[in-house]
Amino acid sequence: MNSRVNSIEGVQLKVAESSQDFRGSFTKFNLNGLFEDSVKSVALSSNQKQGTIRGLHFQTEPFAEEKLVSCIQGSIFDVLVDLRPTSKTFGKWTSFELTQQNQLQLFIPKGLAHGFQTLESNSIVHYCLSAKHSPKNSFSLNPFYNSSVNWPLSVTSISERDANGLSLALAAKEISNYLDTDSI
């Protein structure tokens, strides 16, 4: 796998190992050295409409998540926001286009909000997660918190929770209340 360094510390972009023959293809999600502990769950997000926004989601300790995200069908515009209060890139965002064709895998460390917009109908996103879901520790940063996040399409679908998510200041406060600063 090839790794590319990103502008937000700890984020890694890798290309999945894939092989093809007359039967089809086989893609391997290589987790070596990515997760502090182990993968606690694997999830799929199925999205029917082009233009759907999901996120920007994050969890606080003791359920803060490391994630490995890939798009296994269709394509997405993936966005990360650094919520770690002592980070040099606090409040900054970055984006990646993940597609079925490019087979990119995005590793997201703890303390970042994550979300995406579907670029195609019927896009499916695959997650490996280091923590189980905890409703008490789960939050949404408003995806429009910063007008500089250029979502590429008109929004066709978004949950009320996401549309009314926290401001950057309140999201950072939630992270500060729980995040172990040694892990930043």
Secondary structure string (H, E, C) spanning 68-99: EEEEEECEEEEEEEECCCCCCCCCCEEEEEEE
Q: Chain-centre distance of CA 3, in angstroms?
A: 17
Contact call for residues 159 and 73 (beta carbons, < 8 A)? no
Looking at 114, 126, 127, 178, which residue is catalytic? 127
Rounded Cα distance between 23 and 80, Å, is 36
Rounded Cα distance between 73 and 44, Å, is 11
Looking at 57, 114, 126, 145, which residue is catalytic? 57
Residues in the chain: 184
Q: Is residue 57 annotated as part of the catalytic site, yes or no? A: yes
Q: Is 137 helix (H, G, I), strand (E, B) or coil?
A: helix
Contact call for residues 3 and 12 (beta carbons, < 8 A)? yes
Active site residues: 57, 127
